[in-house]
Amino acid sequence: MLRSCAPRLRTLGALRGLTGGARPAVGDAGPALRLFSSEKFIDKDRSLPNPSWSKEIRLLFDQFMKKCEDGSWKRVPSYRYISPQDSKPTKEEGQMSRARIFSRSYDDGLGFEFVMFHNDVEKRTVCFFQGGPHLQGPSGLLHGGALATMIDVTGGVTAVMTGEFVMTANLNINFKRPIPLGSVIVINSQIDKVEGRKFFVSCDVQSVDEKTLYSNATGLFISLDPEKK
């Protein structure tokens, strides 16, 4: 437990802009790279546009970057590796030395392409997601597990940005309409209630024109008990 949480906590620091140095703060759209100069490792911020992004997701990205200008919204940076140690062979033997964050483990365009924006005052997060061809479930449709992943990550980020580092305790997802593979969808997530260490989050998943509700979900995220950490 201790071993797996420590690198996540480092990531949380970077995610919330709590660490200084060359790591980009949340909402800092400028730096595309996270630099760990002592380790001479460069990890790309993967929530920035790449050539696989459709015009639609690019347009949404541009619209929300404008909303970031007054500070009300912040873009949430996102990386493939939890820490520099995970980017190169480690003391771990075999496959574990190649660990990547699941939602960033695919090459550009093949899997999870997404960017998230967080609004601190409203305690909500918007995720623009384009599912690539390696996320197929039924023919031509997005796999439900891929959508569950994105709901989990968006809800988790919403809780993390509101509180502390959390683990997912419960997810309850209604799959209402199938999602065409490759289409752009919008995941809206908000904090409904906070009770001690428990963050109750709800999510809805819609088409960009808001005419189709693909899914809705609730989740419980729990911050780690300091005594158990």
Residues labelled catalytic: 152
HEC profile for 112-143?
Answer: EEEEEEEECCCCEEEEEEEECHHHECCCCEEC
Binding site for ligand DCC (CB under 6 A): 8, 11-12, 15, 152-153, 156-157, 160, 167-170, 196-198, 220, 222, 224-225, 228
Complex with ligand DCC: residue 166 or 179, whichever CB lies closer: 166
Least distance to ligand DCC from the beta carbon of 154, Å?
8
Least distance to ligand DCC from the beta carbon of 185, Å?
18
- Contact between residue 213 and residue 202 where contact means Cβ atoms under 8 Å apart: no
The string over 145-165, giving b where at least 16 C-beta atoms fall within 10 Å of a residue's C-beta and e elsewhere, is ebbebbbbbbbbbbbbbbbeb
Complex with ligand DCC: residue 59 or 173, whichever CB lies closer: 173
| Residue listed under structure tokens 């595309």 | 32
Instruction: Name the residue with the smallest CB distance to ligand DCC.
Output: 156
- Contact between residue 45 and residue 116 where contact means Cβ atoms under 8 Å apart: no
Complex with ligand DCC: residue 26 or 153, whichever CB lies closer: 153
- Contact between residue 143 and residue 175 where contact means Cβ atoms under 8 Å apart: no
Least distance to ligand DCC from the beta carbon of 217, Å?
13
Residue 214's Cβ-count burial label (10 Å; 0-12, 13-18, 19+) is: buried
Number of helices (H) and strands (E), helices first, in the chain? 3, 9
Complex with ligand DCC: residue 6 or 22, whichever CB lies closer: 6
Least distance to ligand DCC from the beta carbon of 158, Å?
9
